[in-house]
Amino acid sequence: MLLFHNTMSAPSRFVRLLLGEYGEEPELQEELPWARRPEFLQINPAGTLPVMIGEAGTGIVGAFPISEYLDETRGPIMRNRRLMPGSPLERAEVRRLIDWFLVKTEGDVTRALVRERAFKLQMSAAEGGGAPDSAVLRTARANIRQHMRYLGWLAQNRNWLAGDTLTAADLAAGAAISILDYLGEIDWSGEPSARDWYQRIKSRPSFRGLLADRVRRLPPAPHYSDLDF
C-alpha cells in the first residue's frame, strides 16, 4: 500500500491510525496540499488528502471512502476488535462522530490553525505564505473551547467516544486532537475527562508514528510525545 498524506492533515492522520490498528504498514508519501503536484493530480484531480493506493493499484480518495474500504476488507477478520460496530444504529453514531471531528472540528478549528501556524511557514509568498493572520487565529482558538467541552462530555459519559468499545470515531478524534496538541493549542487542565481519554488513545501502538512526526521549522509542544502528560 501507498498512502499520500500530510503530517498536519487530520484526515490523513485518521487513515494512518486506521491502518495501524489493522496492522498495515503502508509506504508514506508526504504531499504539500498547496503545491498541486501534477503527478499527484493525475491520481486525484481535486488535490485533496489522503489518497491510498490499494492492493489492486487503484487510488482510493478521501478519509471516508478509505475507512469504509478498510472496514470491508479488514474488519471481518478483526471480530470483536472491529472498528465499526455491528448494529446499524451504532455504525451511524460512529459515522456521525467521524464527520464531527474530520469536518466540523476541521472547519471550525484545525484547518485554520494548521494553515496559519504550519503551512504558511513552508509556503512561498507567491503561494500565500507569510505571517499568521491574528484574526483567524483568535477565531479558531475561541472555537477550541466548544469542541473540547463536547469531547469532554463524550469521554465522561461513555467508555469510548461512540460507546463501550474503541471505534473509528476515537481514531478520528485522536487524529484531530493530536494536531492541536502538537501545536500546543489545548489547555488540558480544563477537561480532565478528555485528557484521560486522550492518554488512552495516545498510548496505543498505532499512535507511535504520529508521536514521532515533526514539521519543518515547527517543533511540537514539549509534552507532545509524552504518554503521561
**Per-residue pLDDT reduced to its tens digit, 107-151:** 999 999 999 999 999 999 999 999 999 999 999 999 999 999 999
Please write the tens of the pLDDT for every residue from 24-72.
999 999 999 999 999 999 999 999 999 999 888 899 999 999 999 999 9
In residues, how long is the chain? 229
* Domains delineated in the chain: 2-81 (3.40.30.10), 88-211 (1.20.1050.10)
Q: Is-cis flag, bond preceding 50, omega within 30?
A: yes
Q: 158: buried, middle or exposed (CB in 10 Å: 19+, 13-18, 0-12)?
A: middle
The pLDDT of residue 80: 87
Of the candidates 111, 75, 110, the residue with the CA atom closest to the CA atom of residue 94:
75
Phi, psi (deg, nearest 5) at residue 181: -70, -40
Q: Which long-range contacts (CB under 8 A, 24 or more apart) does 150-155 make?
A: 150/100, 151/177, 151/191, 151/194, 151/197, 152/191, 152/192, 152/193, 152/194, 153/193, 154/97, 154/197, 155/191, 155/193, 155/194, 155/196, 155/197
